Amino acid sequence: MMIARVTGEVVASQKHSSHEGLKLLRVQPESSTTAQHLIAVDAVGAGIGERVIVVQDGYAAMTAVHRPQSPIDCAVIGIVDSTNEG
């Protein structure tokens, strides 16, 4: 798992049938020092600018959105309210 920030939404006119009805988000991992972004399926209703918890394990991602056996390898599974860093 990692903490990331939602930087946008992705609109795809054509996608795998198992992705129908799912929102795709563009997320930037906070620990990344590069401009690497990921595309994640939204399981919690996150919005642009929010800090979120992201999984990159295929099984965790596809079960988070209740789509077993789907080609999903990244999902937003939580919205971060606060952290206790120190």
Q: What is the pLDDT of residues 21-43, one digit of tens each?
A: 889 999 999 976 666 899 999 99
Alpha-carbon gap, residue 25 to 3, rounded angstroms: 14
pLDDT at residue 46 is higher than 80:
yes
Q: What's the rounded Cα separation, in Å, for the pair 5 and 32?
A: 11
Calculate mean pLDDT across residues 56-60: 89
Q: State the amino acid at position 13 in one-letter form.
A: S
Residue 86: pLDDT band (50, 70, 90) is: low
- Please, is 60 exposed, middle or buried when counting C-beta atoms within 10 Å of its C-beta (0-12, 13-18, 19+)? middle
Single pTM value for the model: 0.88
**Which residue ranges form the domains of the chain, and what is each CATH number?**
2-79 (2.40.50.220)
